[in-house]
C-alpha cells in the first residue's frame, strides 16, 4: 500500500482514539505511511497518550475544541488543554472548530 505520493493517513470519526483497535490501526498506518494525523476531542486515557508519544513526531494531532465537553465542562477543558500543550511541544498539533448553526 505504500505510495510515494501520499505520505499521511488521517484517522477521524466519531472519535478514533476510542476505537478498540486504535493501537493496531496506528501501527499498521505507520508501516504504510510516513505520518498519521489523528482528529480527536482529546478525551482519551493517559495510557493511550503514552502509547502515541512513542511515535512522535510521526503522529500528528488535530484537536476539536468545539465539543460540548470542552465548551461546557471546566475539568474536561483543562485536561484537553494540558494534553494540547504537552503534545504541541513535541509534534505537529493543530486545533479545529466545528461550525454549525448552534455555534
Q: pLDDT tens digits, residue range 45-67?
A: 999 999 999 999 999 999 999 99
CA pair distance 93, 86, nearest whole angstrom: 10
pLDDT at 53: 97
8 Å CB contact between 49 and 17:
no
Got the DSSP string for the chain?
Answer: ---TT--EEEE-SS-GGG-TTHHHHHHHHHHH-SEEEEEE-S---HHHHHHHHTTTTSEEEEEE--SHHHHH-HHHHHHHHHHHHHHHTTS-EEEE----TT-
At residue 100, what are phi and psi to the nearest 5 degrees?
Answer: -145, -175
Mean pLDDT score, 16-43:
97
Q: pLDDT tens digits, residue range 57-96?
A: 999 999 999 999 999 999 999 999 999 999 999 999 999 9
At residue 77, what are phi and psi to the nearest 5 degrees?
Answer: -60, -45
pLDDT at 4: 75
Amino acid at each position: 500500500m505504500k505510495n510515494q505520493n501520499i505520505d499521511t493517513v488521517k484517522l477521524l470519526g466519531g472519535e478514533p482514539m476510542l476505537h478498540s483497535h486504535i493501537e493496531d490501526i496506528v501501527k499498521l498506518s505507520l508501516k504504510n505511511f510516513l505520518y498519521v494525523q489523528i482528529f480527536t476531542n482529546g478525551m482519551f486515557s493517559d495510557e493511550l497518550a503514552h502509547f502515541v508519544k512513542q511515535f512522535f513526531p510521526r503522529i500528528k494531532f488535530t484537536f476539536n475544541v468545539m465539543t460540548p465537553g470542552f465548551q461546557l465542562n471546566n475539568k474536561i477543558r483543562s485536561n484537553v488543554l494540558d494534553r494540547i500543550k504537552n503534545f504541541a511541544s513535541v509534534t505537529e498539533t493543530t486545533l479545529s472548530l466545528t461550525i454549525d448553526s448552534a455555534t
